[in-house]
Structure 1
């Protein structure tokens, strides 16, 4: 069982010992530290924070603890109840709130939960802000309100509809073309809040939807990370129903993957590539993704005469570089689409709307669309961390071993070879080292990954 405290927030497994797992005491402490930070941003009479959760079994408990902690600090809470990460992000500025908290562990299994923290723009906190909240939590120096100054909780269940409205109003979302295409889609909602909001979106786009695992009960029917090996039911259903495509999201609906009409993955990395291709065909500009994302985005961006740049892994890093470069679209290769015309956050809804607009306008099958893009293949692996393992030392040794190649160290170690690359980094959300490789064929990507893993094990003596 695990508790991970980082500048990205607090994430852990439910139950167990305080400070070793995500217990009620840890949730209250961290929420109070966040509330302290909120009140230090501006001196005012009324503070407001938006709170929503995915459908995890522990979500209602953790949300209740978080909300009532904020109330105890004199902060008013807008309770969205069952929601999505991008919906909460959109709600914060709409409510003129001071911040937001999403109760979700994203793609982690059901025993995990977490607090994702937002600023007044509905964007994730930067490293300095996250570090400050960690320090406040460690110091335990939080002040609570007296009885006449307690906050209040207001329930607002309108924001899923408002989120959909905002997506459909975007200039590049071609609602008419999508409706005329008469798409049939199989959608896997992994029994979380995507099972509520995505069918509503698809219905308003005139898409016939076959729903799979759309009961928001938190009982994930498969590993909730939207990867090929977890989606055999979706693959079978797409073929059985003769659907045009399959769609799957993660539990908090900020990651998105597609499946073609044959039941094969379109490629999680290519979600962003396709959406960027569509946006760049309509809007001149630049793109950003992180160091672990496919180089196909760079190829597509340059085809449209734009400039591509890579950031450190993490949504806040991608967003920062997007703002610096005036990127018209960006995101992460894990299926996270960030479209600034809507908001600066990964959003599966806008990704679906842009992808279906592209598909309808091109009048291609999903498999035919995939063939129009540069073909790269990735291998995503990990090494579980054990106590006492010197991760920084391992990464430094790997950089030194491959010093004759192009090596980047802004986030872990990325080694660029002539026709391939490997990116090694310690995860912010799990006790693992992530090992991503990309090459012109799956065999080459897998072989490179095996070579790198063997080298790490030799260096670490494991």
Structure 2
């Protein structure tokens, strides 16, 4: 059993003793803390929270606990039922709600679930607000409503509203997509992508869609993280169906992986690169991604006359940096596209619509389009450390060792070399350092990571 309490919410495996797994008592406790925090934000007679969930097996049970707890605190609940994370984020704003809760453990396996917490802007909480909620949860200082003041429950379906918002985006060209006559394969990992992607593609003018794993029953047919090693089914289907492009989403549809016409991977890192290049070609400006994302975004941004900035890892950090730099697009290298013209949240629906428009206007196959972008290769490793090692001191020594290089220590230590980079981040839960590296070839990226791990070992 596992229970992880963080500033962005609470996640864990279903079952076990309270405090050891995501038990019903833990769900109620953290929902109560969120409700208490919500009431501290403004003095109002009524409060409203939007609730959405992915299709996890535990989702219906957790939804009832969360909705009932909020009602018990006198908070009205707008229940979206099965809804993507970006759909829920949009609904918070459209409903003029005080906040939102998304029940999803993202790419984690089916035994996991989580409460992801939103503010009144439909965005993830700041670190300080997250800390306040954790503190309230630890104190247990909750106060529930009297019988005449219980919250009300309202059910709404926002999927079509979200789709219509995507269609209205200036850079989404439905006619161009329809004229291209694409054949598209989708893999929705038996979660809420199966609710949102088929009607989205139909609305975009795509009539020929091959659906894989689109039954929202929470029985993930493969590891739900959209990495190449998990996508063998759709890769084979692309070739047997002679399809033009494939799309894979994670269980809550905020990450988008693209499959080329020949079954090869477009590359999750390059989802944001391609979409950003298209957006920048029409609306020049700045971009943001996190420190562990590909340098290719910086290259295409500067080629389009804009300025690229890197943030600490985490969506809330990316969004904060985007607002600071007035970025026209940003996101994360895990396939997360954040397009402010829609909203400040990773949104695979927006990513699909913009990518299909780009593909239609270019008149190229995805594999050909990929060749237009700078080629980088990334490795992701980890160095296990003796428990007695002070990781902060270790990273400080690495920083001093490479003091002649360009260094960013906003989130761990990132060392930018002329033709490559390496990013070292410590884990908050175990004695390891995560080592991300990128270079112009797989061999160079691997060698750089190994070299960096050897340097760290020399300091232990």
Aligned to 2:18: 18
1:68 CA drift (Å): 0.9
Q: 1:249 to 1:315 in 2, by over 3 A?
A: same
Indicate the SS of the match to 1:19.
Answer: coil
1:247 alignment partner in structure 2: 247
Measure how far apart 1:337 and its partner are.
0.4
CA distance in 2, matches of 1:430, 1:144: 37
With 81-90 and 419-428 compared, the bigger mean Cα shift is at: 419-428
Question: What's 2:97 paired with?
Answer: 97
Distance across 2 between alignment mates of 1:156 and 1:389: 52
Q: Which moved more, 1:451-460 or 1:409-418?
A: 451-460
Q: 1:391 Cα deviation (Å)?
A: 3.8
Question: Aligned-residue CA RMSD in angstroms?
Answer: 1.8
CA, structure 1 residues 134+272, in 2 after alignment: closer, same or farther (shift >3 Å)? same
1:52-451 mapped onto 2 (5 Å cutoff): 52-157=52-157, 159-207=158-206, 208-382=208-382, 390-426=390-426, 433-451=433-451
Residues 388, 38 of structure 1: CA spacing in aligned structure 2 closer, same or farther, 3 A cutoff? farther
Whole-Å separation in 1 of the counterparts to 2:68 and 2:352: 35
Question: Per-residue displacement from partner, 1:335-378 (whole Å, max 9, x unpaired)?
Answer: 10011111010000000000000000010110110001111111
Aligned residues: 459
**Greater shift in the superposed pair: 399-408 or 178-187:** 399-408
Q: For the structure 1 residues 203 and 97, does the alpha-carbon distance in structure 2 shift closer, same or farther, using more than 3 Å as the test?
A: same
- Could you give the per-residue CA deviations for residues 18-64 of structure 1, whole angstroms, max 9, x where no partner exists? 22221111111111110011111111111000001001111111111
Q: State the secondary structure of the residue aligned to 2:443.
A: helix
- Contact 2:193/2:214 (CA < 8 Å) preserved in 1? yes
- Deviation of residue 394 (structure 1)? 3.8
Shift of 1:278: 0.5
Q: Does the C-alpha gap of structure 1 residues 183 and 223 become closer, same or farther in structure 2, counting only changes over 3 Å? A: same
Partner Cα distance (1:387, 1:26) in 2: 29
The whole-number CA distance in structure 2 between the counterparts of 1:360 and 1:431 is: 48
Q: How many Å separate the matches in 2 of 1:384 and 1:219?
A: 33
Structure 2 CA distance for aligned equivalents of residues 90 and 131 of structure 1: 24
Q: Give the Cα–Cα distance (whole angstroms) in 2 for the partners of residues 239 and 431 of structure 1.
A: 43
- Structure 1 residue 383: deviation in Å? 5.2
- Change in Cα spacing, 1:6 to 1:185, as seen in structure 2 (3 Å) is same
Q: Tell me the CA shift for residue 423 of structure 1.
A: 1.1
Between the aligned partners of 2:82 and 2:332, the Cα distance in structure 1 is: 25
Q: Distance in 1 between matches of 2:217 and 2:249?
A: 15
Instruction: Flag the 1:430–1:212 CA change in 2: closer, same or farther, 3 A.
Output: farther
Q: Is the 8 A contact 2:387 2:431 kept in 1?
A: no
**Are the counterparts in 2 of residues 378 and 438 from structure 1 also a CA contact under 8 Å?**
yes
Contact 2:89/2:122 (<8 A) preserved: yes
CA distance in 1, matches of 2:255, 2:35: 28
Return the offset for 1:393: 3.9
**Which runs of 5 or more residues in structure 2 are unaligned?**
none
- Relative distance call for 1:431 and 1:96 in structure 2 (3 A) is farther
Match of 2:101, SS state, is strand
How big is the shift at 1:459? 5.0
CA deviations over 1:305-363 (Å, ceiling 9, x no partner): 11111111111111111111111111111110011111010000000000000000010
Distance 2:431 2:76 in 1: 35
What's the CA shift string for 1:242-286, capped at 9, x where partnerless? 111111011000000101111111011110010011101111211
When structure 1 is superposed on structure 2, of 267-276 and 406-415 the one drifting more is 406-415
